[in-house]
Structure 1
Amino acid sequence: MRRALADAAGSQETVPACVAAVSRVVQGLLNRALHGAHAALPQSWRVEPAPAEGTAYADEAAGMTALLADSANVLRAVFVAQEYQQTDTALRLARALWPLQLKAGHFDDVLPALRFAAGCAEQHSPHSRIAGALHFQLAHCLGELRHHDEADGEIEAALACERAVGHLRGEASAVELRGLLRLSAWRWEEAFACFTEAERLYRLITPGQEGAADLPRALALATRHQGRALRGMREFARSRARLVSARDFFAEAGEAYNHARALTDLAETLHDEGDQAGALEAIAEAERLLTPEKATTHLRYLADLRRRCEGAS
């Protein structure tokens, strides 16, 4: 149907007019996707700043809702933009998918577009900042889908790009993602070593250097992940200390999502220690911080964790 309509439009409206129309649609989608992604993850450097043009969204929930509503078109537009030789637009559209995978868990949906965009980046912008970002996103997606070997390869590609451009923050973040892969495979000691190395790299960022403003938040995330690894190592006291530190940081920063994630990790540690009442209290607090529009996947995880704690009680 699309091909028949395109052929009809080409003969009636002329090819240049059709190309201009497609370009307007793709650029409009990019503008909305950038606004949505920035609103959904306002503190994240992995999404572009909101454009000056277009309409900003009121809050994280509104940005996430808008991005979800546009997701099918944005995914399609990644391929269309490249087909019309708008490589930069295709790569930026793919980068704007980050909240869909991180907060909405749409891994199967975004995977084909991320594979395509990472390949385009390697072809047109090898060893660049955006290539590193897309390899990172693809690695994250593959890891969530349990394709660990392929995810490891994408992390190596991301690290090569970040080191080539001297981007310490990106390099540390990629090492951190490798730790998350080890964490999901229950390789606790290896995961802890990765998170410790990520912290070391973050601390190499000096005042005034790119990423310095993000450093307190990045270190809080690394601390949280160290706490998760220590839980797996059965070092509960050290785990709790790190998770409480991360929880307090995100509570003070007003980051509801990461505050809830730290509370969830703390609940898991308390559950493993046998403190089911404390775990259920942390779960309830985390649930109050989240809405279905902002964190569907994590709310499902919290519901499962609640059932486990109640069963243990």
Structure 2
Amino acid sequence: MTAARVKLVEVGPRDGLQNEPARLTVAERCALIERLAEAGFSSIEAGAFVSPDKVPQMADTAAVLAGLKLDSPIGYPVLVPNERGLDAALAAGAREIAVFAAASDTFSQRNIGADVDASLKRYEAVVRRALDAGLLVRGYVSCVAGCPYEGPIAPERVEEVAGALWEMGCDEISLGDTIGVATPNTVLAMLDAVADRVPVAQLAGHFHDTYGMASANVYAAWRAGVMTFDCSVAGLGGCPYARGATGNVASEDLVWLFKGLGVETGVDLARLVEVAHWISQRLGRAPASRVAHALAPH
């Protein structure tokens, strides 16, 4: 089954910027989000309530939310790692949150200081409280194809973690190839396993482009029935725990892909390319996206 319309979740303002060496001001982060909204995205990650000592790029996320129209139809999810982060998100008026687990114990320990089981236990209270407060909750699973420390990850392990987050009450589960080692066959094997626990319609694909396979992996997942994909304007980001791991698949590359397939995204490609060049200039580098270069304004 394939969809005539897909949803693209723009993660550049959070997952992208948190791995960029440059730090943007609150005003610049708000301007980026607003420009992405004007380009047509209906869901844009706005930031993360994490320790500013560990992720300085996400400091002042409350101020970013204060600069946005949170009562608009656009969703502005924020990442929260624990109940303290949830408290901050609620105080800032967030309507959507995301929690972040991994399919690798070693990666989980390095990333959040807890193994997978401990992290899932921690999230039970976070998800329950968020749902009681009327928030939407998204669950992330990282390292769904491979881990920089443990190597290939078994699809059954991804199934366990995704299933646990789903059973907690997460509305959607985003499956992340954090270091970009997946190929279409590994993606399909992983999805086949996860679909035993989570409805395919509630899954999202989150692919990094380290080996140039992200668009191919998105296509494979779409052909398998996945209808939501994460993407990052200009290909912002990377994985700080994996040498050479590049950012998420560029948003403009996916809009181009689905345009060629006759699939609606709701995103204006020309305006998106303008945003890609605008944010890249502020970060002092060129866009990582081939489409951004091919359609660069003259």
Structure 2 length-normalised TM: 0.35
Higher helix share: 1
Higher strand share: 2
